[in-house]
Amino acid sequence: MSKRTIISMPGDGIGKTVLPEAIRVLEAAGFEADYIHADIGWEFWCAEGDPLPQRTIDLLEEHKIGLFGAITSKPKSDADAELAPELRDKGLVYYSPIVALRQHFNLDICARPCQTFKGNSLNFIRRGAHDGVEEPEVDTVIFRQNTEGLYGGVEWSNPPDQVYEALMTHPKFSKNFGDVPRDELSVSTRIFSRQATERILRAAFEYARQFGYKSLTVCEKPNVIRETSGMMLALGKEIAAEYPGIALWDTNIDAQMMWLTKNPEDYGVIVAGNMFGDIISDGFAGLVGGLGFACSANVGEEVAVFEPTHGSAPKYADYETSIVNPIAMILSACMMLDHIGETEIATKIRVVIAEVVEEGQVRTYDMMKMRGKPEVLQQGAASTTQMADAVIAKL
């Protein structure tokens, strides 16, 4: 097979440390690829007024597969203040480049696996029926609709005439908000399209079938959010008929967060809209090690970008020796390998990570429940590079 080309977008902060470590692991595992660096993030906002330069979009357009570290977003006032002087007062507005990337390439399917590594000191434990301690094995994959819903960006404060008038035609709006001064109103919409809702459901069902999950849970709130959540559940029921081996469950987001700690081992694949998917996936990630372990895939019809769910953790970015955990980034790279059909290499890397975690000899500060400080390295914690080295040594 011809060599792959991967677009490497380290971004800001610790993205710049964890992404090169993941590439080292990929190389050690025998994955042959050319990596093309692409610019993204805060420094390009400051210097060029665009955190997602067109040249980066072009590279992804051409090569289709991206590995992404993390970016830094800052409040509007900082964004304005840090912009190069010659670019100020040109009406440039900062927008998160990873959100922009998802929107631009319609990376509408977000998959976030949350799987227990045996022996991880961060694993969730609970008291069992007879006072003993239980450590449930979590193996849940959250499919989050990645482009629509509450994060779709269709929102207003002090809504313009046409929007306000349209809202007033809704009896509940006129009754409950008709008396509120317009400039005291903020409106964020939750829009679901049938096509995108079907796509996320089908992707989740296909995944469940491929990897042998017995259940698929639609986690929304259809009893209250009747239109959008209702549509997702109704479509889920329709599509479930095509997958007779997979049980369709539905839960409400609030109850799901409670069941998260009561019986997380019961859940296989979970599907949700953008915001609820964001919430549930962080919840499940917390059961299996947190941000140092949370990986994700953003997949569209043509382009796919793989990234850890953590951000750029700026406070750790300038450490002389990086202390952050590269496993989330490495697992994200494994999702990339699965996506392009290199499942054998992906499995090999995951098996090795599981061994390193279980042996417990090499642990980054988060795995030792320490507070992140440069001194953790003297207190027995592994550096980012040492963790990657431990994985590479076993490969």
Residues that bind ligand NAI (CB under 6 A): 70-73, 98, 291-292, 307, 310-315, 324-325, 328, 366, 372
Q: Is the Cβ of residue 162 or residue 378 nearer to ligand NAI in the bound state?
A: 378
Min separation Cβ 275 and Mg ion, Å: 9
CB 297 within 8 A of CB 88: no
Q: What one-letter code names the amino acid at 315?
A: K
Q: Is the Cβ of residue 279 or residue 340 nearer to Mg ion in the bound state?
A: 279
Q: Is the Cβ of residue 287 or residue 382 nearer to Mg ion in the bound state?
A: 287
Nearest CA to 219 among 287, 284, 298? 284
Q: Is the Cβ of residue 30 or residue 360 nearer to ligand NAI in the bound state?
A: 360
> What are the two backbone dihedrals, phi and then psi, of residue 220, each rounded to the nearest 5 degrees?
-140, -140
Q: Report helix, strand or coil for 53.
A: coil
Burial of 172 (0-12, 13-18, 19+ CB in 10 A): exposed
- 328 interface partner picked from Mg ion, ligand NAI, none, CB below 5 to 8 A per type: ligand NAI
Binding mask 269-288 for Mg ion (x = CB under 5 A): ---------x----------
Longest dimension (CA), the chain: 69
Min separation Cβ 2 and ligand NAI, Å: 31
CB atoms within 10 A of CB 339: 16
CB 93 within 8 A of CB 102: no
> What are the two backbone dihedrals, phi and then psi, of residue 299, each rounded to the nearest 5 degrees?
-120, 130
CB atoms within 10 A of CB 322: 23
CB 16 within 8 A of CB 10: yes
Q: Which two tokens stand for residue 81?
A: 């203040």
Q: Is the Cβ of residue 278 or residue 338 nearer to Mg ion in the bound state?
A: 278
- 388 interface partner picked from ligand NAI, Mg ion, none, CB below 5 to 8 A per type: none
Min separation Cβ 51 and Mg ion, Å: 19
- 291 interface partner picked from ligand NAI, Mg ion, none, CB below 5 to 8 A per type: ligand NAI
Min separation Cβ 307 and ligand NAI, Å: 6
- 278 interface partner picked from Mg ion, ligand NAI, none, CB below 5 to 8 A per type: Mg ion
- 226 interface partner picked from ligand NAI, Mg ion, none, CB below 5 to 8 A per type: none
Query: Degrees (nearest 5) of the Cα angle 283, 286, 290?
Result: 130
Min separation Cβ 282 and Mg ion, Å: 5
CB atoms within 10 A of CB 164: 16
Min separation Cβ 157 and Mg ion, Å: 23
- 377 interface partner picked from ligand NAI, Mg ion, none, CB below 5 to 8 A per type: none
- H/E segment holding residue 305: strand 304-308
Q: Is the Cβ of residue 204 or residue 381 nearer to ligand NAI in the bound state?
A: 381
The answer to whether residue 307 forms part of the interface with Mg ion (CB under 5 A) is no
Q: What is the DSSP letter of 117?
A: P
Measured at CB, which residue is nearest to ligand NAI? Answer: 311
Burial of 86 (0-12, 13-18, 19+ CB in 10 A): exposed
The residue with tokens 């993941």 is: 22
Q: Which two tokens stand for residue 110?
A: 């977000």
Q: Is the Cβ of residue 108 or residue 278 nearer to Mg ion in the bound state?
A: 278
- 228 interface partner picked from ligand NAI, Mg ion, none, CB below 5 to 8 A per type: none
- 73 interface partner picked from ligand NAI, Mg ion, none, CB below 5 to 8 A per type: ligand NAI
Q: Is the Cβ of residue 277 or residue 292 nearer to ligand NAI in the bound state?
A: 292
Q: Which residues bind Mg ion (CB under 5 A)?
A: 278
